[in-house]
Copies of this chain bind each other. A is one copy, B any other.
C-alpha cells in the first residue's frame, strides 16, 4: 500500500502521567524521519480543542523543548475528559482533519494510564513511574516512622487507584528481597473488601513486632457491600464516583479502635502521577518507543489499533512494542490477578514482584535551574483556523 502523504495530528486525553509527554516526543521524533509526513500538529486539550480547530505547530518547536518533553510531567498539549457523543461531533472532527490535510491522527489517551488496567498490553506507560515514586516514598516514610514510633505509630499513605489495586500493590517494591517484614506492612487493595476487625488485628500484630505500622491504602478501597470507605457524593463527567479520603477514613477507624495509637496520614494525590523527578527510566523510554512505533505502524497502513507493550519471554527483562485492535482494548479491564496477592490479603507475592520490579528500573537525570527541575514549555504557535466556529 502506498504511504499516505499529509499531516500528522497528535492529541492527549484523560489524566496525565509522568511519561505521557515522552510519547509525544517519540511521535515527533519519528515523524521527522518520514518524508510522507509534511506538518506535525498538536491538538490542544484533546478532542475539545480539535473540535474547536485549536491546532498548534509542533514542528516549529525547538529541538530542545521536544527533547525536554521526554522528562516533563503533565500533558503538554492539554487534555480533556470530553466524550464524543453527538453525530455532529464526529463529523466536525473529520471536517477539521480534511481542512488541515490530517492523514495520521494519534490520540494519546491510549496507551497510557497510571492505573495499568488496560487489557492485552503487558503494562501501561506511566505505571512504572508512579509505583517507583510510591515505593520510594514508602521507604523514606519508613525511615521517619522508624525514628518516631514506639510501637504506637500507624502511618498511612493513600495511593491512587479507583477500581484496581495495581498502584497500591506497587508499594510492595519498597521491601527488600527476602525481608517480608519490611514496610509496607499492610497493603489495602480495592480487590479485597475491607474487613475492619481483621485489619485492626493485623495492625495490632505489626505494632507488637515493629515500632510502627506502615499501611498503603488504595483510594478505591470498598467494604463488603461494595461501598467506598470514603466516598463523595459528586461524580465526574463519566459518572465515576469522585474519591479521596480512604486514608483519613482508615485513620479515624484506627484511632477509634486502638487506644493510645498515633496516626499520620499522607495523601500525595496527583503529586504521584506528576512526580517526573522520580520517574523510571524504563517507563519513560518505553513511552517514547510507543510513540515512535505508533508513527511507523500508521505509515505502514495500520489503523484502529493500539500500541501494546510486549514483555519478552526471557529471564532478563526485555520489552517490545506490538499492536492490538482498539475494539479488543476499549472495554476490557486487566485485573490484578488474585493469585498475585498473598493469602494474608495484605501483601503481594513473588509473582507480582517479578512482574512489577523491571518496570521501575533506572533513574532520569533532570536538568535543574536554581534548584528546581526545568520542564518543557511549548511555544504553541497556533495553526490558522480555516473553518467556521463550532458550538460544543
Contacting B at CB under 8 A, from A101-150, are 132, 135-137, 139-148, 150
Among the 9-residue stretches A57-65, A340-348, A361-369, the one with 4 or more Cβ atoms under 8 Å from chain B is: A361-369
Are B266 and A271 in contact, CB atoms less than 8 angstroms apart?
yes
Q: Does A72 contact B (CB under 8 A)?
A: yes
Please give the distance in Å from A18's CB to the nearest CB on chain B. 8
Distance in angstroms between the alpha carbons of A74 and B142 in the assembled complex: 8
Are A371 and B375 in contact, CB atoms less than 8 angstroms apart?
no
Are A267 and B266 in contact, CB atoms less than 8 angstroms apart?
yes
Q: Can you name 23 A-B residue pairings with CB atoms under 8 Å?
A: A73-B144, A74-B140, A74-B146, A75-B144, A75-B148, A77-B147, A78-B146, A132-B372, A136-B373, A137-B271, A137-B274, A139-B375, A140-B271, A141-B271, A144-B270, A155-B270, A157-B271, A266-B268, A266-B269, A278-B278, A280-B371, A361-B370, A363-B368
Q: Does A6 contact B (CB under 8 A)?
A: no
Contacting B at CB under 8 A, from A277-311, are 277-278, 280
Contact with B along A25-57 (1 / 0, CB 8 A): 000000000000000000001001000000000
Are B373 and A139 in contact, CB atoms less than 8 angstroms apart?
yes
Residues of B within 8 A of A280 (CB): 371
- Integer count of this chain's copies in the complex: 2
Please give the distance in Å from A287's CB to the nearest CB on chain B. 15
Contacting B at CB under 8 A, from A355-392, are 357, 360-363, 368, 370-373, 375
Q: Does A216 contact B (CB under 8 A)?
A: no
Whether A141 contacts B270 in the complex (CB less than 8 A), given A16-B148, A78-B146, comes out as yes
Q: Does A244 contact B (CB under 8 A)?
A: yes
For A281, the closest partner residue in chain B by CB is B371
Whether A74 contacts B371 in the complex (CB less than 8 A), given A141-B270, A141-B274, comes out as no
Contact with B along A231-244 (1 / 0, CB 8 A): 00000000000001
Distance in angstroms between the alpha carbons of A173 and B370 in the assembled complex: 9
Whether A276 contacts B360 in the complex (CB less than 8 A), given A132-B371, A264-B270, comes out as no
Are A73 and B266 in contact, CB atoms less than 8 angstroms apart?
no
Interface residues of A (CB under 8 A from B): 12, 15-16, 45, 48, 72-80, 132, 135-137, 139-148, 150, 155, 157, 173-174, 177, 211, 244, 264-271, 273-278, 280, 357, 360-363, 368, 370-373, 375
10 tightest Cβ-Cβ pairs between the two chains A and B: A74-B143, A266-B269, A360-B371, A75-B147, A140-B274, A144-B274, A74-B147, A74-B144, A267-B267, A73-B143
Are A372 and B135 in contact, CB atoms less than 8 angstroms apart?
yes
Determine which of B12, B148, B273, B357 lies in contact with A370 in the assembled complex, contact meaning CB atoms within 8 Å.
Answer: B357
Whether A357 contacts B375 in the complex (CB less than 8 A), given A45-B150, A274-B144, comes out as no
Are A276 and B361 in contact, CB atoms less than 8 angstroms apart?
no
Residues of B within 8 A of A142 (CB): 74
Residues of B within 8 A of A145 (CB): 74, 270
Distance in angstroms between the alpha carbons of A77 and B211 in the assembled complex: 13
Residues of B within 8 A of A372 (CB): 132, 135-136, 139, 173-174, 360
Determine which of B132, B135, B268 lies in contact with A271 in the assembled complex, contact meaning CB atoms within 8 Å.
Answer: B268
Please give the distance in Å from A220's CB to the nearest CB on chain B. 16
Residues of B within 8 A of A155 (CB): 270
